[in-house]
Each structure stands twice: as structure tokens, then as C-alpha cells.
Amino acid sequence: MQITPIEKINSIIDPESSGKVSSSGNTAGVPFQDLFQDAVQNVKTTNADLDGELYKLTTGQSDNLHDIAIASTKATLSVQMLVQLRNKALDAYNEVMRISV
């Protein structure tokens, strides 16, 4: 039985650059568009992994329910993270729209 290690989310958030502000006032690190695209890609990947695990179970190629539970949890968490990113982006947009010029 092979146990896969837990993977870090380095592709989405870089701990060294998160929260730092450069001298010009811009936030250093990954642009938001890239961050959002990575989150969308992560949702697609985890959902494809879940579909693959479910296919293996239904065709009898696998009898390991743990892999399905893990894939399902990963897919759920990636969707929740994407929804939170969307909510934060909409909150920021609404805050900018409330600023009177």
C-alpha cells in the first residue's frame, strides 16, 4: 500500500511574500489574476482527481475508499477556497465603488 504525502499549497501562496509591501506601495508577490487562475486550475485538477477515483471504484479497479474520501475533501476545500477568493475580490470591488471622489 502506497501512502502519498501531504502536499503544500506553495503554488497558491508564497509565505515569504504574502503581506509584504514594497516601497512603491504595491503588494509584492503574485498578481491577483495569477492567484485566481491557479485557484481555478486547482479546482479543476482536484475535481478531475475525484472523478478518476470514483471511476476506479465503479469499474472495480480500486476498492480503497480512503482515496475517494481524500480526493473528495481536497475537491471540497479547493472549491471553498475559490469561493472565499471570489468573495474577498467582490468585497474589495464594492469597497472601491463606495469611495467618493
Taking the domains of the chain in order of start, what are their residue ranges? 32-98
R_g of the chain, CA atoms, integer Å: 18
Dihedral sign for Cα atoms in the order 26, 28, 36, 92? negative
Q: What is the DSSP letter of 6?
A: P
Length, in residues, of the chain: 101
Q: What is the pLDDT of residues 37-82, one digit of tens each?
A: 999 999 999 999 999 999 999 999 988 899 999 999 999 999 999 9
pLDDT value at residue 37: 92
Give me the chain's average pLDDT, please: 83
pLDDT value at 22 more than 60: no
pLDDT value at 83 more than 90: yes
Query: What percent of the chain is predicted at pLDDT more than 90?
Result: 56
User: What is the residue whose three cell numbers read 474520501?
Assistant: 69
Q: Which three cell numbers stand for residue 52?
A: 478518476
> Taking a C-beta distance cutoff of 8 angstroms, is the pair 74, 46 a contact?
yes
